Amino acid sequence: MIYLLLGIAALVLFLFIANSFVNANPRDLARQLRRLAGCVLMLVAVLFAITGRFAFAIPLAAFGLSLLGWGGISRLGGFSGAGSGQPSGGQRSRVRTAMVEMELDHDSGDMTGTVLAGQFQGRTLQDLQPPDLHALWQEAAVDEQSRALIEAYLDRRFSGWREDFEADGAERQGSPAGAGPMTQEEAYQVLGLSPGARDAEIRAAHKRLMKGVHPDQGGSTFLAAKLNEAKDTLLRRH
């Protein structure tokens, strides 16, 4: 009976994956698959527990809970978050320029932002419609770092925005505005670390975040440069 239920669960998982691949957002798909896998593992763990096979049920339940986001409980079964000895749930990196402040969620890769100056001051980027984002992009022409950060956000939200925006003939104005060297406080925020983090933690956070924003992986050159600058700033503190 247990093998029949396992077969049904596997079939449901296969059909879900096949259906989700059609016009699916890669990040949304990854989250959905993670949650579904966690549910399937929890179901299998329950079946093993019913039949008295607790040696299999406990680690499967722990791993299933870790996929569902219950990192603290998962460690009871010997599992921990990938990439470090500490769970990374809810960890975020923050980058701030003269016009915008952006946050990157380490787990989902989602970017959120707030406008700090200009006609859209106080509004979140998520609430701005394409015409508003176009106006903000044009307004940021006087600050190279702000525009680069806005472009990194647009790359994630609208795949064809460059053709639409640049077709209007908008050109960058003024000269690049340097923000000066990065402070240690800013560097900690960029890497999503607490002040006083050890060198090994700094390198690990940099390596993990670079996997998601490196230009070779379709990420942002600006964000990759910020991560490199943050790592160098903190490693030079001694």
Query: What mean pLDDT, rounded, does the chain reach?
Result: 72
Average pLDDT, integer, range 69-86: 42
- Is pLDDT above 80 for 199? yes
Q: 234, 202 in Cβ contact below 8 A?
A: yes
Partners of 68 in the β-ladder: none
State the pLDDT at residue 2.
Answer: 59
- Is pLDDT above 80 for 213? no
Q: Scan for tokens 């460059």, then name that residue.
A: 162
Per-residue tokens: 146: 């702000």
Q: Scan for tokens 């077709």, then name that residue.
A: 167
- Is pLDDT above 80 for 204? yes
Looking at the chain, the whole-number percentage of residues with pLDDT higher than 90 is 3
State the pLDDT at residue 5.
Answer: 60
State the pLDDT at residue 15.
Answer: 62
Partners of 104 in the β-ladder: 93, 111
Confidence of residue 85 (pLDDT cuts 50, 70, 90): very low
Q: 169, 123 in Cβ contact below 8 A?
A: no
Indicate the pTM of the whole model.
Answer: 0.41
Average pLDDT, integer, range 24-49: 70
* Continuous segment of H or E residues that includes residue 176: none
Four-CA torsion 188, 192, 196, 197, nearest 10 degrees: -120
Domains, the chain, in order of start with CATH, read 2-77 (no CATH), 88-238 (1.10.287.110)
State the pLDDT at residue 26.
Answer: 58
Residues 106, 110: Cα–Cα separation, whole Å: 8
